[in-house]
């Protein structure tokens, strides 16, 4: 006699998440995926995240059956259900033309997945992480930006052509200023992040990439890989919340920058003032105008590139490693200072007023 087919409610499958290992059939029931859509989603999942997941099939050894372990299947579901909203999901989409809506919709779906599929302990850690909090802020900020741009376009379109030209000239001037401001914010962030990363103890290397995940997707993927490899536990993650991650006090410790600068200055100056480097920079200055802020910034970056080249040639590996860390921190800091001088617009707060 044929075995009777068991029909279970969606609640039955949903209650298995994070408590039992899941099969491919379980996942299709939970996410309401057809066979074809599930198979295509798994293919795209491994393609889009191949740098992190190239070695994982999510199947039982020597089998074609999916085996998603209870320790991490909620995280897997959160990523998989969001995948169709990923900016790169459509293979034929022009990656240069992402919409504001598309950029934040994917993050919204990740947030929904975190809240829907993760157990309370992992959910607590992720909601505490700066990457999650940043996504929550992004959604409303993107919407505000889109509304402002729509208003600007509307006002320009209502102008007569002559006035429209003047308006566009002013708009482009301010956009150049805003672009410099955004670059400054990014380099300033890199500086603060590098400082704190340099202070994370080597004993915590298993969580280091998690600590410094720059976005929510990266955070979820990093935790997934570490849980699959049994490198960490959820308890390890929550233990880091006692002050071991991204401390604002450390990130803004300009005294620390000053100390590094003093220690680094002697070696840097020797390299910078070598006869070979001086000749190269003299040739550059003969072509570029130091009175032009953009060209002055380019000269500064070329000088830094020459220093980096010399640092790579140092024979002492310990000294070389220490100086490279310092160079990363200080070059970002110096670049951010130079970028402040690019801001000449009056419509927004000037970059060179930020720290004064």
Q: What is the mean pLDDT of the chain?
A: 75
Residue 59: beta bridge partners? 66
Model pLDDT, residue 235: 80
Name the percent of the chain lying above pLDDT 70.
67
- In 3D space, the residue among 90, 78, 88 whose CA is nearest the CA of residue 31 turns out to be 78
Res. 355 pLDDT band, cuts 50 70 90: very low
Does residue 6 or residue 55 have the better pLDDT? Answer: 55
**Chain segment 200-214, per-residue pLDDT in tens:** 544 455 666 777 677
Res. 180 pLDDT band, cuts 50 70 90: confident
For the ranges 180-194, 237-251, 295-309, the maximum mean pLDDT occurs at 295-309
- Decide if 250 contacts 195 (C-beta within 8 A): yes
Rounded to the nearest 10 degrees, how much is the dihedral formed by the CA atoms of 151, 156, 159, 162? 160
Model pLDDT, residue 29: 93
- In 3D space, the residue among 92, 108, 91 whose CA is nearest the CA of residue 100 turns out to be 108
Model pLDDT, residue 221: 93
- Decide if 262 contacts 207 (C-beta within 8 A): no
Q: Which residues contact 169 (CB under 8 A, 6 or more apart)?
A: none
Q: What is the mean pLDDT of residues 228-239?
A: 81
Model pLDDT, residue 95: 56
Model pLDDT, residue 45: 92
Q: CA 75 from chain center: how many Å?
A: 19
Model pLDDT, residue 353: 37
Two tokens, residue 300 = 């500064």
Model pLDDT, residue 251: 36
Name the percent of the chain lying above pLDDT 90.
20
Q: What is the mean pLDDT of residues 227-244?
A: 74
- Decide if 75 contacts 227 (C-beta within 8 A): yes
Res. 75 pLDDT band, cuts 50 70 90: very high
Per-residue b or e along 95-112, where b marks 16 or more CB atoms closer than 10 Å to that residue's CB: eeeeeeeeebbbbbbbbe
Residue 57 has pLDDT above 90, yes or no: no
Model pLDDT, residue 94: 60
C-alpha–C-alpha distance, residues 105 and 111, integer Å: 10
Res. 198 pLDDT band, cuts 50 70 90: low
**Chain segment 317-340, per-residue pLDDT in tens:** 766 666 655 655 555 455 445 444
Model pLDDT, residue 336: 45
Residue 3 has pLDDT above 60, yes or no: no
């Amino acid at each position: 006699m044929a075995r009777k087919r068991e029909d279970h409610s969606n609640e039955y499958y949903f209650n298995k998440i994070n408590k039992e290992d899941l099969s491919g059939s379980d996942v299709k029931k939970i996410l309401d995926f057809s066979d074809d859509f599930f198979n295509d989603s798994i293919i795209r999942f491994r393609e889009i995240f191949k740098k992190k997941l190239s070695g994982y099939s999510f199947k039982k050894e020597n089998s074609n059956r999916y085996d998603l372990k209870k320790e991490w299947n909620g995280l897997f579901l959160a990523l998989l259900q969001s995948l169709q909203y990923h900016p790169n999901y459509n293979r034929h989409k022009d990656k240069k033309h992402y919409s504001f809506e598309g950029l934040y919709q994917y993050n919204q779906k990740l947030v929904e997945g975190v809240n829907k599929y993760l157990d309370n302990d992992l959910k607590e850690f992720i909601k505490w992480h700066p990457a999650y909090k940043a996504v929550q802020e992004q959604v409303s900020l993107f919407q505000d930006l889109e509304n402002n741009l729509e208003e600007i376009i509307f006002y320009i379109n209502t102008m007569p052509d002559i006035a429209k030209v003047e308006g566009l000239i002013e708009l482009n001037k301010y956009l150049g200023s805003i672009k410099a401001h955004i670059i400054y914010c990014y380099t300033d962030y890199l500086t603060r992040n590098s400082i704190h990363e340099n202070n994370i103890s080597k004993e915590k290397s298993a969580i280091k990439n998690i600590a410094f995940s720059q976005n929510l997707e990266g955070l979820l993927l990093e935790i997934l890989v570490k849980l699959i490899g049994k490198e960490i536990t959820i308890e390890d993650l929550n233990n880091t919340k006692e002050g071991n991650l991204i401390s604002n006090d450390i990130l803004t410790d300009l005294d620390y920058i000053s100390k590094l600068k003093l220690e680094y200055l002697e070696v840097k100056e020797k390299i910078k003032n070598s006869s070979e480097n001086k000749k190269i920079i003299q040739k550059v200055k003969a072509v570029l105008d130091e009175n032009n802020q953009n060209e002055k910034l380019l000269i500064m970056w070329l000088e830094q590139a020459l220093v980096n080249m010399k640092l790579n040639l140092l024979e002492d590996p310990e000294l070389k490693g220490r100086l490279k860390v310092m160079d990363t921190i200080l070059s970002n800091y110096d670049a951010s200072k130079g970028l402040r001088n690019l801001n000449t617009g009056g419509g927004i707060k000037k970059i060179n007023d930020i720290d004064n």
